[in-house]
Amino acid sequence: MPTDLIPALDAAGLPGPPWLFHMLLVSTFFLHMLFMNLTLGGTLLAVIAHFRAGGRRDDPRGALAGRLMTVNGYGISLTITTGVAPLLFVQVLYQQYFYTATILIAGVWLAFLLLLTLGYYAAYLYKFRGAPTRSRGGGLWLVASAVMFLLIAMVNVAVHLLHAQPERWADFASGAACVLRDPTYLPRLLHFVLAGIGAAALLATWWAVRRARAGVEVELNTTIAGFAWRWVLWATVLQVVDGVLLLLLLPRPVLSAFMQGGAATMIPLTLAILLGVGLLVMIARVTSPLASPGIVSGTLGAMVLTIAVMSITRHQVRTLYLEPSTRLYEYAVAPQWFNFALWVVLLLLGLATVAYMVRRVLDAPATGGDAA
């Protein structure tokens, strides 16, 4: 493949072995996906629920929209926070591909910041001024927020496809918009969108079932659970179809290498397919989620596992896309083991601190004079 357009590897080398950064990239991306699904899928589902309710808060679907966007007030922040880590590690491993891809669509990539800001503040405006706090209305803010997040997903899918295909950069240079015509662009985008809607709907179902079984607003929560569960079902059906389509549309060399990758690639893929089909079976068996809380919880667990497995598969596909280029060089490695160990210790301390804080908060409800 022509290599003259691929920038040289950074002379500073990797501050740790490549496997470590591959692992960190995948694991932090998985964490990011958990919140991203809520942000993108939750906002899209909130739009659907809001308009199905005619914008009214006293309709259960309007209440669901309010719930989803209340969660998103925090979820968007955590999506950004957890997105920082994979953004860091992708720059460590793939800087020459990633920076080049972003420069090829520089204006759009920069606009992603504006879209994120607008989407975030629009979500807050819906939370404070729309149906969640007033009897009706606010749909415009909600739609604005959803459109912004969808556009961000489009930008990120475009950057991913651009950075993974350096052999096509010469074509992209004359107009990077042609990445939209990549056969895998739309299925890949849909794969994220459907996963988001399915995950957000499942979480909403799980919470509604939990509340109803605790005797809180039983009628409302039962209706919400039924509505959201239907969206879990349809999003998953479409997701399985789209996933197969995406696999078949991969460039032939990538698909061949993937299928011939042995246990390393086939185990995650097989697991993902089994989980997808298993999810469908579990979801289809349940007509009333309230009557099957165990299956709802199990489905939630299976979906989290599916997201984890798909994060691995996605990364493997990327490495296969890039393999013709990456096989031409080897990373220089200058490990900083002390700093890595320090990071691990601080990460554990940080997580323990967060856990302690959350526990203290949950254990210290107060009212009246005792309250902060």
Site for another protein, rule CB under 8 A: 4-8, 10-16, 74, 77-78, 80-85, 87-89, 91-92, 95-96, 98-100, 102-104, 106, 109-110, 112-113, 116-117, 120-121, 124, 170, 173, 334, 336, 339-340, 342-343, 346-347, 350, 353-354, 357-358, 360-361, 363-366, 370-372
CA distance 292 to 222: 12
Of 105 and 296, the one with the shorter C-beta distance to another protein is: 105
Task: Tell me which residue has tokens 């939370």.
Answer: 127
Give pairs for 125-134: CB < 8 Å, separation 24+: 126/69, 127/69, 127/70, 127/72, 127/73, 130/66, 130/69, 131/50, 131/53, 131/55, 131/56, 131/57, 131/62, 131/65, 131/66, 132/57, 132/65, 132/66, 132/69, 132/70, 134/57
**Please, what is the minimum distance in Å from the beta carbon of residue 274 to another protein?**
33
DSSP of 13-56: -BSS-HHHHHHHHHHHHHHHHHHHIIIIIHHHHHHHHHHHTTTB
Of 185 and 340, the one with the shorter C-beta distance to another protein is: 340
Residue 361 in 3-state DSSP? helix
Of 123 and 208, the one with the shorter C-beta distance to another protein is: 123
**Please, what is the minimum distance in Å from the beta carbon of residue 270 to another protein?**
33
**Please, what is the minimum distance in Å from the beta carbon of residue 230 to another protein?**
30
Of 70 and 292, the one with the shorter C-beta distance to another protein is: 70
Of 10 and 58, the one with the shorter C-beta distance to another protein is: 10
Tokens representing residue 177 in the block? 């918009």
With contact defined as beta carbons under 8 Å apart, do 44 and 150 qualify?
yes
**Please, what is the minimum distance in Å from the beta carbon of residue 19 to another protein?**
15
CA-nearest of 141, 172, 176 to 155 is 176
**Please, what is the minimum distance in Å from the beta carbon of residue 42 to another protein?**
16
Report the Cα–Cα distance between both ends of the chain, in Å, rounded.
64
DSSP of 104-159: HTHHHHHHHHHHHHHHHHHHHHHHHHSTTTSSB--HHHHHHHHHHHHHHHHHHHHH
Of 180 and 342, the one with the shorter C-beta distance to another protein is: 342
CA distance 149 to 154: 9
**Please, what is the minimum distance in Å from the beta carbon of residue 127 to another protein?**
11
**Please, what is the minimum distance in Å from the beta carbon of residue 243 to another protein?**
29
Beta bridge partners, 56, equal 136
Of 274 and 347, the one with the shorter C-beta distance to another protein is: 347
CA distance 348 to 354: 10
Of 15 and 261, the one with the shorter C-beta distance to another protein is: 15
**Please, what is the minimum distance in Å from the beta carbon of residue 245 to another protein?**
31
